[in-house]
Amino acid sequence: MAAEAQSIYEAQQALLDEEDPRQHLMFDPLPRHEMNSMVMEAMTTTTPRYWRVVIILGILVAVLLFGAWGNMILTGMGLAGIRRPVFWGIFIVTFVFWIGISHAGTFVSAILRVFKAEFRRPFTRAAELMTTFGLASGALYPLIHLGRVWVFYWMIPYPNERSLWPNFHSPLLWDFLAITTYLLSSTIYLYLPLVPDLAMARDRTTGIRHFAYRILALGWRGTEAEWTRVRVAIRIFAFAIIPVMFSVHTIVSWDFAVSQVGGWHSTIFGPYFIVGAILSGVSAVITILFILRSTLKNMDYFLRPEHFDALGKLLLVFSLAWAYFFFNEYLLHWYGGYDVVRKLLTHHATGPAAWVWYTMLICNFAIPCLTLWNRRIRRTPWAMFIITLLINIGMFAERYTIIPLTLGYQRSPFDWGEYTPRLTEVSIVLGTFCLFIFLYLIASRLIPLVPVWEVQEGQEAHKLRKVGKTEVPSVAELE
């Protein structure tokens, strides 16, 4: 009896230890100058290994992306594996993938900011950077996949002597406009909270760096008026960018949904794509946070298991939401009974490329559901790293199923066709992955990756107060 009580007591004690508020970044404050120098140190430390990686990535971008693309421009689209009836292949798959990835920055930064989720504070910048670079990588694809890229500007509504305008009925044009809007607004949204940190960097650097930061910091001095203005601007942008974010992936989904292609023509595609985008985007945030934590200096102070824990819960929710949309599609088409789509969906699960379909289901649904309910797994960064990588593989497989595998099995079986990506396509796809990592690596040494002022603001609001003999965590309302 006593032994049992003892073990229960121990279990409770262990739980309490885990619940120690000082595990949270918000209850573990450091003086501002110390945090500043930690972030500056992370930003300015470059090892030979870093330079090796940067140079190798730079060469890979030049060869895999621009070399292969240039060769394809000179020779013809035929270097890609696309063929009738699969006119869109892995280029568009990767395009949708990158645009999906780019959702997380806004999601983490704007939505979590609006809902005052405190755990967002240390990694809003890392997520916003991902948005910008993800968009930059993704926005290349509408150019890469053009048959005649040298006349791409015909898609832009510009005044010309022939009064020729682009076709505003075409979803590709909506895409073009939506992505440019998102790229522009997310860059501004990245820049606004960056200004105080750039000023911080300005005050701690010399030479050319100091000069650059002085210009970028826009003469920030940190007066009360400046803080008020930047807070108001951020708040306006946070609300304004949320509809832009939702519209972008809805419009990307309309590329498919407004067509008559069986399996694409679906009213559910807008929210389905958004949920998928957030699932893959939040996963990518976790992947990157793990890499930052293990390669950058002082990052284990800012990025803690609690952040992986909180993001893991989000992932679980979005994985379930994704599964809902996925099964909904099957249910509706089974009930609707349109033969073309029914055969198509059966083909996804039983055809020669069924392994893609199963990869999608296992990685997007089975793995998150089997692992993320567990607090211990959620709090283990390397486990989260593997899980989120798998989720993104699953999301890539989802887009692959939706695009080439759907185009290949349309209404006339005589024209059914398989599609295999060829070397040029694979090389360009890998090239944009290298480009993304390359840009991120460069940026990680150029701008402070942790918004110090936001962390400090949170730490000011969170205090441990002594009530009697115990310390009680308390949070002050900021706004």
Partner 1 sequence: MADDQKPKKWGIVIDLDRCTGCQACVTACAMENNIPTAGEDEVGYGRGLHWIRIQRYWHGEYPEITPDFTPVMCQQCGHAPCEAVCPVFASLHSEAEQINLQVYNRCIGTRYCANNCPYFSRVFNWFDYQIPSPMNSYLNPDVTVRSRGVMEKCTFCIQRINRAENQAATEGRSLRDGEVIPACAQACPSDAIIFGDLSDPHSMVSQFARQKRGYQWLAELGTESKVVYLKRGGEYGG
Show the CA angle centred on residue 62, arms to residues 61 and 64, nearest 5°.
Answer: 65
277: nearest Cα among 134, 118, 90: 134
- Our CA angle for 436, 439, 444, nearest 5°, is 120
How much of the chain is in helix, strand and coil states, percent to nearest 5?
Answer: 75, 5, 25
Shortest separation between residue 207's beta carbon and partner 1, angstroms: 46
Nearer to partner 1, 223 or 260 (CB): 260
Return the structure tokens found at 457. Answer: 């603001």
**CB-nearer residue toward partner 1: 258 or 461:** 258
DSSP 471: E
Considering the complex, what minimum distance in angstroms separates the CB of residue 159 from partner 1? Answer: 15
Q: Return the number of the residue (411 or 445) whose C-beta is nearest partner 1.
A: 411
> Do 109 and 311 contact (CB within 8 A), yes or no?
no
Q: Which is nearer to partner 1, 19 or 415 (CB)?
A: 415
Residues near partner 1, by CB under 8 A: 75-78, 82-85, 87-88, 145-149, 151-152, 154-155, 164, 166-167, 169-173, 176, 255, 258-261, 407, 410-415, 417
For residue 463, which phi and psi values (nearest 5 degrees)?
Answer: -135, 150
**What backbone torsions phi and psi does residue 145 show, to the nearest 5 degrees?**
-85, 0
Nearer to partner 1, 48 or 413 (CB): 413
Q: HSE of 339 in the Cβ direction (CA atoms, 13 Å)?
A: 3
- Residue among 80 and 387 whose Cβ is closer to partner 1: 80
- Residue 115 or 168: which CB sits closer to partner 1? 168
Phi, psi of 391, rounded to the nearest 5 degrees: -60, -40
Q: Which is nearer to partner 1, 259 or 374 (CB)?
A: 259
Q: Do residues 442 and 53 lie in contact, with contact meaning Cβ atoms separated by under 8 Å?
A: no
The nearest distance, CB 137 to partner 1, in angstroms, is 19
Structure tokens at 381: 């960064």
Please name the amino acid found at residue 388: T
| Residue that has been written with the tokens 């593997």 in this structure | 386
Considering only CA atoms, which of 192, 353, 372, 208 is closest in space to residue 282?
Answer: 372
Compute the least distance from the CB of residue 402 to partner 1, in Å.
12
Cis peptide before 21 (omega within 30 of 0): no
